[in-house]
């Protein structure tokens, strides 16, 4: 990969919509993804195969996945939390999945009701099955700087979890500042620690813009060698189990501005990004009460 070429993973249809109060209809989700498919993303997260009881916004993800119009240059991934989700992925011919854990024991317990070690016990058969079916696996690590329940997280703990995911067979590890507490210094320090155990080319950065610092933190990540960024169109959503401060994925539009200011190359089409963003705002306006 060109050292100046940055890839963008659009997480709005999954990580964004899962935290929207209004549940988007299937046709609205399909329309959003079809618009995003024209924008030049390396990957689009379509949704997750999680129980609708826990995340009702992600119900019918299989129907969405099977109806979208695909761009041959874009990967379409599904988040898979367990063996049942993996069965759905295989039966729907999903070629890219993601799994998730955290560098915080408290967050893992709150989010998926198990310890970090137990989460890896769940992932091992999923990744083995993915290997058998030629499915690419992306790993998410939440709380790489701080946890809403237990405070600051050590970079060594992040590196340990990221390395375990890499050793299991994840082709890319996304490092998530879940509550947006990162600073350029803490992000750089964390990436330096992780990259001692996982090649930086296998890492991605996933910042929430809780305090308006995500672009500065992502800039630091780029300076540290990161070449893949997660973002969400219009800054949609965040983790529903991350506490009040978890809201606010960094907006894809902000990332586009940053890359162009820093003279990085990318494959995004600004006009098509704006078109997709306008669609999101139109849908959100439907569920928002008028202001008098």
Q: Which residues are catalytic?
A: 239
The phi and psi torsions of 31 (rounded to 5 degrees) equal: -60, -45
CB 192 within 8 A of CB 224: yes
Query: Judging by beta carbons within 10 Å of its beta carbon (0-12, 13-18, 19+), is residue 37 exposed, middle or buried?
Result: buried
Three-state DSSP state, 175 = strand
Rounded distance between C-alpha atoms, residue 228 and residue 247, angstroms: 21
**Terminal Cα distance for the chain, rounded:** 51
Hey, what are 214's tokens?
Answer: 């995500």
Hey, what are 24's tokens?
Answer: 């988007």
CB 35 within 8 A of CB 275: yes
Dihedral of the CA atoms 156, 161, 167, 172 (nearest 10)? -100
CB 232 within 8 A of CB 251: yes
Between the alpha carbon of residue 108 and those of residues 91, 148, 177, 227, 239, the distances in Å are: 28, 11, 14, 27, 12
Residue 121 CB partners (closer than 8 Å, separation 6+)? none
């Amino acid at each position: 990969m060109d050292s100046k070429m940055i890839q963008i993973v659009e997480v709005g249809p999954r990580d964004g919509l899962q935290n929207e109060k209004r549940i988007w209809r299937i046709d609205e989700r399909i329309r959003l993804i079809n618009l995003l498919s024209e924008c030049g993303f390396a990957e689009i997260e379509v949704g997750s195969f999680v129980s609708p009881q826990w995340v009702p916004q992600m119900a019918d993800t299989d129907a969405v996945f099977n109806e979208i119009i695909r761009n041959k240059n874009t990967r379409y991934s599904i988040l898979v939390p367990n063996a049942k989700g993996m069965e759905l992925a295989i039966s729907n011919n999903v070629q890219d999945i993601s799994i998730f854990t955290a560098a915080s024991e408290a967050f893992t317990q709150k989010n998926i009701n198990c310890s970090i070690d137990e989460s890896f016990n769940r992932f091992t058969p999923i990744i083995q099955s993915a290997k058998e079916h030629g499915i690419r696996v992306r790993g998410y690590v939440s709380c790489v700087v701080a946890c809403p329940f237990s405070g600051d997280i050590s970079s060594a703990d992040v590196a340990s979890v990221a390395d375990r995911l890499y050793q299991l067979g994840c082709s890319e590890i996304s490092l998530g500042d879940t509550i947006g507490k990162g600073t350029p210094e803490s992000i750089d320090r964390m990436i330096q620690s992780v990259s001692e155990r996982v090649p930086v080319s296998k890492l991605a950065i996933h910042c929430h813009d809780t305090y308006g610092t995500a672009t500065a933190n992502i800039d630091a990540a780029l300076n540290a060698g990161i070449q893949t960024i997660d973002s969400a169109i219009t800054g949609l959503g965040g983790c529903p189990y991350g506490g009040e401060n978890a809201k606010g994925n960094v907006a894809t539009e902000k990332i586009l501005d940053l890359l162009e200011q820093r003279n990085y190359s990318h494959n995004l089409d600004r006009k098509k990004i704006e078109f997709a963003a306008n669609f999101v705002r139109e849908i959100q306006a439907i569920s928002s009460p008028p202001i008098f």
